[in-house]
Amino acid sequence: MALNLFLNKPSFGTFGQNASSSGNVPTLFAMPNCHGFRLEETTIDQLQQAFEEERLSAVEVTTCYLDRIRQTNGWLSSIQETNPDALAIATQLDEERASGKLRGPLHGIPYMAKDNIATDDKMETTAGSWMLMGSKVPRDAFVVSKLREAGAILLGKTALTEWASMRTANMSEGYSARGGQVRNPYNFTLSPGGSSSGSAAAVAANQCVFSIGTETDGSIITPAERNALVGIKPTVGLTSRSGVIPATRHQDTIGILARTTKDAAIALNAIHGIDPRDKFTQDQQGKTPSLESGGYAQYVADRNALKDARFGLPWDSLWARNSPEQNDELVKIIQLLGEHGATIVNGTELENHEILVNPSGWDWDWRGKLGFPNESEFSVVKVDFYSDIKTYLGELSDSPIRSVEDMIQYNLDAVGSEGGVPGIHPGFMGGQENFHASAATKGVEDDTYRSALVFTHSASRRGIDSALHNRGEPVDALLVPAGFAQAISVAAQARYPLVTVPAGVNTTRTGIPFGLMLMGTEWSEGELIKWASAIEDAITAAKGSRPLPNWKDHHRRVLPVLYE
């Protein structure tokens, strides 16, 4: 532990080009007002107030967001396709409002869905691959049906890292054959984060109000962090995976990317729930807040709540190997929380972190490469994927693709666009080695699989819970650098929730934002939202609103994008 939090009072600059500063807003791709209403950086509450006061209609807002997509998407490539029914849906919702029928806080609010989340409409669901074009899904994904019921308007589908990063570990984050390279609106030459790349870039660039993405290991938190967004990765089982193209039933979860914690909480209210098609959702029974009392949104707090907070810093476990530059800035945030009354407990370490945290960087098979496949996350994922994707593909109509073997062969046949062999496509430099590894298992749940499943799940849970328990002096949440991917990986294997909030921008070099992440135990989303919103409020008071994209190097088209 090499940290002294309170030697000096932290000195904060602003976030830089932020939405609240006068005369300091980027003019490149400036967002026009929508019928006199400032749509840029607007929140769900602000839109609902405008609807109530009849300053805007759902049709007008939807039209303005579609205009924004036309203005920016040729550069960003964040949106894979727009919904041809969006304006018709908005018209229906305006008519319902006029007749006195309101579905709730998402009535008339436009959002985006990642293109591995099924929509039973005129749009495609392809995971970014040409091989699923024209296939027909049997129904909406459960989370999409819940959002339709809530009155949210599905504007379109976002591009992603193809197959949600499942096909190879060596590819350009945010790249897919169908969607091309999603660009980070803060720096076009660098990674937008993945695999929910378009879901993040779209919200950051004000192409929609919020988006839904998926995470197996990092795919919500990483792009949220790198696009100055709030990201909520829920406990596995809080949000149904039915109708979502899978990686592994043991870690997949659907979450929210938004510009504020409150917006993310409101959206989370709409998508969680028990689904007979996903047995993991049965576990949430009695563990979620009542929607009648506000659901997760009731936990949203301001910075005054910090006086009751106890936060743990697992410094040796998770902070020590993070970027020193980020740590310097994040420690200033930690000091700020202390000034608002939070108790900061350093040295709340994860039990056995030496075997949980890869010292060399993210690699979900690092234990396997050391000779311990029975302790490897990938030993589980590659087996689950074989069976889970076969089940998903089996429900499609108008598709010849029925198995991992079919997927591999398609990529070999379409090698020019799909890069089915290593080294020939800059977007897929690794080819499809993960597909080959999965195919080799035939989905057999052997002793190695069973041992790895027990180990990764139980060891990661013990690690996080021991840090939270802190030798009998519990903390409310662990604070962790959101850019430290190995921390995200521990929570992924534990199936535990994470929330990240914007914390700063790398102003000296890259211009890429970074976040502060909160880690808790299972079903602790409400508490994490409370503390995340309080931290968000404290940071905003000190540094200003979250930074707008500055479109750095927007004219450059590098592939692969770099991760810095």
Q: For residues 82 and 66, give the distance between their C-alpha atoms in angstroms, rounded to a whole number.
A: 8
- Which active-site residues does the annotation give? 114, 195, 219
Give the ranges where 205-319 is alpha helix by DSSP (H).
Answer: 221-226, 261-271
State CA 194 to chain mean position distance: 8
Residues 6+ apart with CB under 8 A from 317: 349, 350, 353, 356, 357, 463, 467
Give the phi and the psi of residue 201 in degrees, each rounded to 5.
-60, -35
Q: For residues 552 and 507, give the distance between their C-alpha atoms in angstroms, rounded to a whole number.
A: 12
Provide the residue type at 284 as one letter.
Q
Handedness of CA 540, 543, 545, 546 (dihedral sign): negative
What is the per-residue burial (b if ≥16 Cβ within 10 Å, else e) of 266-283? bbbbbbbbbbeebebbeb
CA distances from 409 to 61, 136, 162, 535 (A): 44, 21, 16, 49
The single residue listed with the structure tokens 């990938």 is: 378
What are residue 77's DSSP bridge partners? none
What are residue 105's DSSP bridge partners? none
Q: Tokens representing 69?
A: 């997509």
Question: Which residue, 157, 193, 200, 187, is CA-closest to 175?
Answer: 193
Q: For residues 389 and 168, give the distance between their C-alpha atoms in angstroms, rounded to a whole number.
A: 16
Question: Which residue, 423, 391, 417, 395, is CA-closest to 404?
Answer: 391
Q: Are the C-beta atoms of 12 and 539 separated by less than 8 Å? A: no
Q: For residues 441 and 444, give the distance between their C-alpha atoms in angstroms, rounded to a whole number.
A: 6
Between the two ends of the chain, the Cα-to-Cα distance in Å is: 26
Q: Are the C-beta atoms of 197 and 223 separated by less than 8 Å? A: yes
Q: Tokens representing 541?
A: 């008071």
Question: Which residue, 229, 201, 204, 200, is CA-closest to 212?
Answer: 200
Q: For residues 506 and 225, give the distance between their C-alpha atoms in angstroms, rounded to a whole number.
A: 12
Question: Which residue, 113, 158, 106, is CA-closest to 267?
Answer: 106
Number of helices (H), then strands (E), in the chain = 17, 13
